[in-house]
Amino acid sequence: MNFAFSEQSTGSREEIVTSFKRSLRILESFFAMVDSGEIFHSQDMESYRNVRKDLRSSLVHLLVWQRPRLEALKGINWPYLQLRRRYSFFRGSAEESSNNFERKQALLFVALLPFPEQWKWLLKAEQLFCNDPEIGTFLAKERCEVSRKITKKPQRTYKLRHFCQVLKKPGLNEKGVLRIFSLPYLFVFQTQLLKRLSKRYVLYVEPPMGVVFRHAWWRYFSELEDPCIMGVGSQEDRSFFETQHGVVVVPLAHGDYMDDLDWQASAHSELDKDYDIVFNATFDDMPRKRHNEMLNLLHHPLLRSTRVLFLGRGEESHVSEFTRRVHESGLASRVTVKANLLRAEIPAQIASCRMGVHLSLYENACRSVYEFIRSDLPCVIPSSMGGMNLSIFNGDTGMAVLEKDLPKAIAFTLENRQQFRPRQWFINNSGSDNSSSKLNSLLKGFFTEWGYDWREDIVPLGSSGASRYVQASDYRKFRSEFEWILEAFNTLKHHKLNFSIE
């Protein structure tokens, strides 16, 4: 069982295609071994460890870095569906096999791969096999990754309102609602903190990015007094969450709560537009955001005269690197780069463009896309983008298309821009007021189902800014709740970090 493969491929197009095919073969060979009954014929522990390692790497390669190719050839859901079809076999072996070796191997398969109920099995594997080298390595790597995320942050003191938000106070037989919209890994491995918060609040969490199968540490959010409510944009992520215990999902997150603006984008006529396309994404994560692919699109015959504005925040070195690529691509006359503008300056920049394009590999209800739509710009994205609710793309807002169809879709949108009505769709269907009202109804239903009273509605949610409160008075209204949360954090000395209210 030799499935050797590295997690992320780089190199020429031919090398990347070869790596993609190798990843598919690794999964297909595994599925064939399961179906033939040969999967447990070996008694070599190391070979099973290698199989699981190679399967995990291949899944990351396909479901993260090669999403467009996977969608075109097999479909994004193909790996999940194949694992789901074989889950009963592994579950039966993990629960009922009389062979201790086989029972352990089956349990490790369902614990370390994105099978249904993976988190339940991983929690069990932690208890039973904490001294096993494979589980130990997995847990150590997981802890190291979370610590790395925290350590690389420049600050050592965090304001609570920068990553969580009280939406509703608790009362008699009525829990409050606590929204966690950023830095969720601050809570990871702090099970006592999570359980203490869960006694007072129902947690509503928005994973910062999609493709949640990679982040098995979410399992700690699934052991609370009440199910954790996960806000995820894409059907792919919702389907995965729905196979796990201890969580419920809602199709509302981040960009859905975009505040409306007190100005009319329509005041900018077509003659006032300085650019055809706006591409708004951080320069600090260009491999995921795919700035290079946007430059490549500009060489397509259908787009050879388009003018593009690149917006985004980023370190000076990364902005300079991208600017160099623009010049090397011969696109300096058609591409403008404006980095690290103030947030208040962005809407006017977007209004100077005719449409938006976003090419990221994965997100979660990406705010940039909603910002385009709010500003009356139709938007085109690849339908392989993880974390996006594809149902928001329609005759009013734009298109989500296969990678190969992007040039044609972008050209069509530019030529027929007047037939789209993105801002009208936003006003009718999205934004803070609409989405907060939808979330309120969903939460009220959960509270009723779980036997809690509901006497007071949640406050409006925003999608950006330090506190995400639409009304500053709401933060002051919940001051005593933040004091309680601060005490909970400070009781559990957390990662040698400090937390504050102001």
> Mind listing the pLDDT tens digit for each residue in 67-80?
999 999 999 999 99
**Cβ of 242: how many Cβ atoms within 10 Å?**
12
Q: For residues 374 and 398, what is the distance between their CA atoms, to the nearest angstrom?
A: 12
- Asked if residue 145 belongs to a domain, the reply is no
**What pLDDT, on a 0 to 100 scale, did the predictor assign at position 150?**
84
**Cβ of 495: how many Cβ atoms within 10 Å?**
16
**What pLDDT, on a 0 to 100 scale, did the predictor assign at position 417?**
96
**8 A C-beta contact, residue 156 and residue 282:** no
Task: Please state whether 230 falls in left (phi above 0), alpha (psi between -120 and 50) or beta.
Answer: beta
Do 379 and 478 belong together in one domain?
no
**What pLDDT, on a 0 to 100 scale, did the predictor assign at position 6?**
36
**8 A C-beta contact, residue 461 and residue 257:** yes
**What pLDDT, on a 0 to 100 scale, did the predictor assign at position 270?**
67
Residue 264 has pLDDT above 80, yes or no: no
Assign 29 a pLDDT band (cuts: 50, 70, 90).
very high
**Cβ of 492: how many Cβ atoms within 10 Å?**
12
CATH of the domain at 334: 3.40.50.2000
Q: For residues 277 and 309, what is the distance between their CA atoms, to the nearest angstrom?
A: 6
HSE-up of residue 382 (Cα within 13 Å, Cβ side): 25
Do 406 and 289 belong together in one domain?
yes
What's the average model confidence in pLDDT over 195-217? 92
Q: For residues 189 and 315, what is the distance between their CA atoms, to the nearest angstrom?
A: 31
Assign 490 a pLDDT band (cuts: 50, 70, 90).
confident
Q: For residues 424 and 364, what is the distance between their CA atoms, to the nearest angstrom?
A: 23
Closest listed residue to residue 57, CA positions, set 107, 14, 20: 20
Q: For residues 432 and 427, what is the distance between their CA atoms, to the nearest angstrom?
A: 10
**8 A C-beta contact, residue 398 and residue 422:** yes
Do 66 and 188 belong together in one domain?
no
Do 424 and 361 belong together in one domain?
yes
Q: For residues 279 and 297, what is the distance between their CA atoms, to the nearest angstrom?
A: 12
Do 297 and 404 belong together in one domain?
yes
- Asked if residue 249 belongs to a domain, the reply is no
Q: Could you report the per-residue pLDDT of 382-438, keeping only the tens digit for each?
A: 999 999 999 999 999 999 999 999 999 999 999 999 999 999 999 999 999 999 999
- Asked if residue 272 belongs to a domain, the reply is yes
Do 340 and 465 belong together in one domain?
no
Residue 271 has pLDDT above 80, yes or no: no
Tokens at 134, concatenated: 């494979």
Do 321 and 395 belong together in one domain?
yes
> C-alpha angle 385/467/200, rounded to 5°?
95
Q: Could you report the per-residue pLDDT of 437-470, keeping only the tens digit for each?
A: 999 999 999 999 999 999 999 999 999 877 899 9
Do 398 and 466 belong together in one domain?
no
- Asked if residue 442 belongs to a domain, the reply is yes
Q: For residues 397 and 393, what is the distance between their CA atoms, to the nearest angstrom?
A: 5
Structural domain for 377, as ranges = 265-429
**Cβ of 214: how many Cβ atoms within 10 Å?**
17
Do 446 and 403 belong together in one domain?
no
Taking CA atoms, 264 is separated from 26, 39, 150, 367, in Å, by: 53, 62, 40, 19
Q: What is the DSSP letter of 179?
A: E
Residue 118 has pLDDT above 70, yes or no: yes
Q: Could you report the per-residue pLDDT of 360-386, keeping only the tens digit for each?
A: 999 999 999 999 999 999 999 999 999
The residues, any chain, with a CB within 8 Å of residue 441's CB and separated by 6 or more, are none
Do 193 and 319 belong together in one domain?
no
Do 442 and 420 belong together in one domain?
no
Chain length of the chain: 502
Among the candidates 429, 444, 463, a domain finishes at 429
The residues, any chain, with a CB within 8 Å of residue 253's CB and separated by 6 or more, are 206, 207, 231, 232, 233, 364, 365
- Asked if residue 256 belongs to a domain, the reply is no
Do 378 and 339 belong together in one domain?
yes
pTM for the full model? Answer: 0.93
- Asked if residue 114 belongs to a domain, the reply is no
Among the candidates 397, 429, 461, a domain finishes at 429
Assign 2 a pLDDT band (cuts: 50, 70, 90).
very low
HSE-up of residue 477 (Cα within 13 Å, Cβ side): 15
**What pLDDT, on a 0 to 100 scale, did the predictor assign at position 212?**
83
Task: For the chain, give the mean pLDDT.
Answer: 92
**What pLDDT, on a 0 to 100 scale, did the predictor assign at position 11?**
65
Task: Give the count of domains, the chain.
Answer: 3
Three-state secondary structure call for residue 381 = strand
Among the candidates 404, 429, 454, a domain finishes at 429
Q: What are phi and psi of 34, to 5 degrees?
A: -65, -45
Residue 1 has pLDDT above 50, yes or no: no
- Of residues 153 and 247, more confidence is placed in 247
Q: For residues 217 and 142, what is the distance between their CA atoms, to the nearest angstrom?
A: 8
With tokens 């298109």, the residue in question is 399
Assign 209 a pLDDT band (cuts: 50, 70, 90).
confident
- Asked if residue 128 belongs to a domain, the reply is no
Amino acid at residue number 125:
A
Q: Percent of the chain, pLDDT > 70?
A: 95
**8 A C-beta contact, residue 303 and residue 297:** yes
- Asked if residue 255 belongs to a domain, the reply is no
**What pLDDT, on a 0 to 100 scale, did the predictor assign at position 36?**
95
**What pLDDT, on a 0 to 100 scale, did the predictor assign at position 262?**
62
Q: Percent of the chain, pLDDT > 90?
A: 82
